[in-house]
Structure 1
Amino acid sequence: MDTSEARDRAGTGEAAPTVAAARERRREQRGWYFYDWANSVFSASVITVFLGPYLTTVAKAAADADGYVHPLGIPVRAGSYFAYAISASVLLSVFVMPLAGAVADRTGRKKPLMGLFAYIGAAATMGMFFLSGDRYLLGGALLVTANVAYAASVVIYNSFLPQIAEPDERDAVSSRGWAFGYAGGSLVLVANLVLFLQHDAFGMSEGVAVRLCLASAGLWWGAFTIVPLLRLRERGVPSPSAGTGEGGSLGQGFRQLAATVRDMRRYPLTLSFLLAYLVYNDGVQTVISQASVYGSEELGLGQSTLIAAILLVQVLAVAGALLLGRMAARYGARRTVLGSLVAWTVTIGAGYFLPAGEPVWFFVLAAAIGMVLGGSQALSRSLFSHMVPRGKEAEYYSVYEVSDRGTSWLGPLLFGLTYQLTGSYRDAIISLVAFFAIGFVLLARVPVRRAVAAAGNPVPETI
């Protein structure tokens, strides 16, 4: 009887489309992973390792006798310039990301928009090769441009997740994407470490080696962006009028954005999750962007030590993302993220007590961060995907990324202000504990299953 049913299905062609659809979905997933592989180098090599200490050095070279630079006539302590530049970039992202998401959903042309922002960011990153001497303003401008473009491209990239993965697949697919990204970042950091440590053997100064490392991140980003642009496919727009020519205009984009904000009021539980994510991920992003500055300026560690520590983070983040993905399959993504926030709180609190000049303890801290970094980010992304109404993925992910890049200005701003007022990076780092503790409380109060059902999506068995 089973054989007869199988023959009947084969005869009617029912099984073939299912198999073909699954094969196409896996092909898209593999292509989607490659954008994590491409853009994670920007976060790892540029934001986390090289640009913070190097731009701080450039700003100090341009500083007056009191240690201040004056962008736009505003007195800024040179040691705070990088943190303020990060804050400026993410504030600008608040205006760019929602518009990009609204236009992407309204036109259905996600790939061209993702490619546009990716190559703007890659070009700005390659332009950092020309950052030398006292050109701190050039460094700030390139940082702002690259970080805004990066954030906008990730909005559209994330919005593909609900389209290329079934509900029960998303934790695993998102975790693999993060793992793929950290693997790519690790590979480039190894090459960067060799170049930096052996710069004399290559006949170049340390500054030139750093600038080559920055530029190589942009080249890598641009080169591997080609893969997802070839593999991913466009979906239809949710309404007949959405694909019209005027749908891509700025006016239409802002009107669609306003409609999205009004629409989100219908999903208060989704907004509750976003608020929790806004808070705890603010701490995550600040740790990522300021760790190397803390290591070099407060702990007195050399650049080679910092690169090795960040490389350790990247390698362990691959394992951590996959491990937490497996834990989510057993215990649920929400519980796993809550556990990771406890680990974040303990880890960053311990960072305050690290002794200066002793890299071993910095490596211990880096290992702890690596084990929770990728998993907490990957599972947050997949959790949110279940709470997004179908057909509004890019618009809702633009708000998600506002919670990521767009409001993570609070952490860097607090970090920079604390240093400006106290002159101590230890005081700055301990302030970040509040983001993880408050985020834990807010996330614990979100009824995730009700939020998924309220968005009109099927509720996975384990979430």
Structure 2
Amino acid sequence: MYKDKSIIGWALYDWANSVFATVIIAGFFPVVFKSYWATNLTDSENTFWLGVGNAAASLLVVFIAPFLGAIGDKYSLKKPLLLSFMLLGVLSTSLFYAVQQGDWGLVLILYIVATVGFMAANIFYDALLVSVSAADQLDQVSGLGYGLGYLGGGVSLGICVYVSQQPAVIGYSTVIDAVLICFLLVSIWWFVFSLPLAFWVKDTQYAGGSAGDDISSAVSLKNTGVVDATLTAFRMVFKNRQARLFLIAYWIYIDGVDTIIRMAVDYGLAIGFEFSDLILALLITQFTGFPAAILYGYAGSRIGVKKSIMAGIGVYCAITWLGYIMTTPTEFYILAVLVGLVQGGVQAMSRSFYVRMIPAGQAARYFSIYNMLGKSAAIVGPLLMGAVALITENHRYSILSVLVLFVLGAYVLSRVEEPCVSGVEGR
């Protein structure tokens, strides 16, 4: 597996794009937004608008995902579309550097566009798993991708933390100038480490004919709109009862996972932790997540993917409660370890669990719905936290509200049958 260039090229994209998830979404952007671009907003308003920004990006992806999936499957354009949205994210992120202090509206728009590029590219990245992986390697390959993502996110975050704390090493005298340079570094990192996928991974063209004919007849891309494409995609995917049940469960529990990823730094700042404590916790999560995600892939193959996901959700329930009661940085570091142990594993096993339900030739279509529901879930969680914080003026209640998502998601997942391998079409 580790000698296959297509697998390595595919997995390295997770190393590439995780710099955005770690340094931008989870790390520096919430802090710089609050302390530089939005200094005229209160803490509660800051949390609210960050939630709105994340929700808006997710909503845009929800709207376009099924149409993109139809195009990706019909014309075997998964890789070109991935690279196009990657470039959109890279260019938008690089423009953060030019936004002036106090101009929070402009930078929030750029953040939304960059996040759309990041999330839309992931639709096709996930779909390419079936092109690079053999049937008996799904869990391990999926885990490898997430593992490299955590390692890449940790390394890039460590570099940016060092540069921000030692601005003189890059010729600047202030921390904010160094952080703005870090946003440029994020863009370069994302682009450069996407090149192995561009050169080593090929789209699989389905040779059976019938699936392509079904797609062609179901969605005429010349004559139908986004809404029709969305409804058609839902009808095709939701005819599969087990896929339907799993997607409902996934929509619920991944909302909790994504909300913790996106809002953890803002929550930590709101309850009084120092930025240095939060960045150290992020680094702990990243470097714990690297081996944990890979080992999770092997565990899924041995004990069952569904059991692995359920175990991770159980740990997240504990994490949410501990987040509500924690008072010291040491407790935050313990939570960071726990998150690192299960976050990548839950994501990787969810992806490989779902792959087994996909008919040949329909990977992008199925993953458009998968990502659509995942991103629409990410609308609910940040808005829930933001609304609870704004209404109660108590940020601890906002993190506690996430617990219901994990409990309900686990209940629905318990009704899903473990699938057999179905749609691995490329190897």
Give the TM-score taking structure 2 as reference length. 0.92
2:122 to 151, 154, 157: 154
Q: Choose 1 or 2 for highest CA Rg.
A: 1
**Structure 2: distance between partners of 1:290 and 1:313:** 15
User: Aligned residue for 1:352?
Assistant: 324
> 1:164 offset after TM fit, Å?
1.7
1:448 aligned partner, one-letter code: E
The question of 1:39 aligning with 2:8 is answered no
Query: Given that residues 249 and 413 in structure 2 are in contact (C-alpha distance below 8 angstroms), is that contact kept between their aligned partners in structure 1?
Result: yes
Q: Please state how far the C-alpha of 1:364 moved relative to its aligned partner.
A: 1.0
Matched with 2:241 is 268
Report the CA distance between 1:438 and its aligned residue: 0.9
Q: What corresponds to 1:181 in structure 2?
A: 149
Q: Is 1:296 equivalent to 2:269 in the alignment?
A: yes
Cα drift, residue 58 of structure 1: 4.0
201, 219, 223: which one aligns with 1:232? 201
Q: Does the aligned pair in 1 maintain the 2:2–2:8 contact within 8 Å?
A: no
- Structure 2 Cα separation of the partners of residues 250 and 312 of structure 1: 50
> Any conservation in 2 of the 1:92–1:406 contact (CA below 8 Å)?
no
SS at match of 1:116: helix
* Deviation larger for 230-239 or 37-46: 230-239
Report what 2:184 is aligned to: 215
In the TM superposition, what are the counterparts of 1:160-175 in structure 2 within 5 Å? 160-175=128-143
Structure 1 residues 327 and 391, CA gap change in structure 2 (3 angstroms): same
Of structures 1 and 2, the one scoring higher in RCO (CA 8 A, sep 6+) is 2
1:305 aligns with 2:277: yes
Q: Work out which of the residue numbers 292, 295, 300 in structure 2 matches 1:328.
A: 300
Task: Output one character per residue of 1:221-274: Cα deviation in whole Å (capped at 9) or x when no partner.
Answer: 111111101111122254369799x97658377655443222123202101000
Q: Deviations over 1:140-171 (max 9, x none)?
A: 10111011111110001110112221222100
Identity of aligned residues (%): 27
Structure 1 position 309, deviation (Å): 1.1
Alignment map for 1:133-144 (pairs within 5 Å): 133-144=101-112
Q: Tell me what 1:93 maps to.
A: 61
Distance 1:100 1:87, change over 3 A: same
Does residue 72 of structure 2 align to residue 104 of structure 1?
yes
Q: Number of aligned pairs?
A: 418
Check the 8 A contact 1:193/1:308 in 2, yes or no. no
Asked whether the 8 Å contact 1:321–1:372 carries over to 2, the reply is yes
1:457 CA drift (Å): 5.4
1:402 corresponds to which of 360, 363, 372: 372
C-alpha contact (below 8 Å) 1:257/1:395 kept by paired residues: no
Look up the match of 2:346: 376
Q: Does 1:119 align with 2:87?
A: yes
Mapping of residues 404-423 of structure 1, within 5 Å: 404-423=374-393
**More displaced stretch, 303-312 vs 381-390:** 303-312
Q: Deviations over 1:42-68 (max 9, x none)?
A: 1011000111122123454234xxx49
TM-score (norm 1): 0.85
Deviation at 1:387, TM superposition (A): 0.7
Structure 1 residue 444: Cα displacement: 0.9
5+ residue gaps, structure 1, are 1-21, 69-75, 459-463
Whether the aligned pair in 1 keeps the contact of 2:70 and 2:215 (CA below 8 Å) is: no
The answer on whether the counterparts of 1:89 and 1:147 sit within 8 Å (CA) in structure 2 is yes
8 Å CA contact retained: 2:37, 2:100:
no
Q: Cα deviations across residues 65-114 of structure 1 (Å, max 9, x unaligned)? A: xx49xxxxxxx823321111111111111112222111111111222111
Q: Judging changes above 3 Å, is the alpha-carbon distance between structure 1 residues 411 and 119 closer, same or farther for their aligned structure 2 residues?
A: same
Does the 8 A contact of 1:321 with 1:371 survive in 2? yes
SS in 2 for 1:217: helix
* Cα contact 2:363–2:423 (8 A) shared by 1: no
**Bigger shift: residues 175-184 or 129-138:** 129-138
SS class of match (2:325): coil
What whole-Å deviation, never above 9, does each CA across 1:196-244 have from its counterpart, x for those lacking one? 2213565331221222222221221111111101111122254369799
Q: Over aligned residues, Cα RMSD in angstroms?
A: 2.3
Once residues 57 and 196 of structure 2 are traced to their aligned partners in structure 1, the CA distance between those partners, rounded to angstroms, is 27
Q: Which residue of 1 aligns with 2:404?
A: 434
Give the partner amino acid of 2:35: T
Instruction: Determine whether 1:447 maps to 2:411.
Output: no
Q: Is the 8 A contact 1:97 1:152 kept in 2?
A: yes
Instruction: Give the C-alpha shift of residue 367 in structure 1.
Output: 0.8
Greater mean deviation of Cα atoms: 189-198 or 41-50: 189-198
Change (3 A) 1:93 1:256: closer
Q: Is the 8 A contact 1:282 1:404 kept in 2?
A: yes
Evaluate the alpha carbon distance shift between residue 131 and residue 363 of structure 1 in structure 2; reply closer, same or farther with a 3 A threshold: farther
Check the 8 A contact 2:305/2:418 in 1, yes or no: no
Change in Cα spacing, 1:254 to 1:346, as seen in structure 2 (3 Å) is same
Q: In structure 2, how many angstroms separate the alpha carbons of the residues matched to 1:347 and 1:54?
A: 26
**8 A Cα contact 1:103 1:253, kept in partner:** no
Q: Could you tell me how far apart the structure 2 residues matched to 1:386 and 1:55 are?
A: 41
Q: CA deviation at 1:129?
A: 1.2
- Distance in 2, matches of 1:189 and 1:257, equals 37
The one-letter amino acid paired with 1:313 is T
1:72 aligns to what?
none
Secondary structure of the structure 1 residue equivalent to 2:326: coil
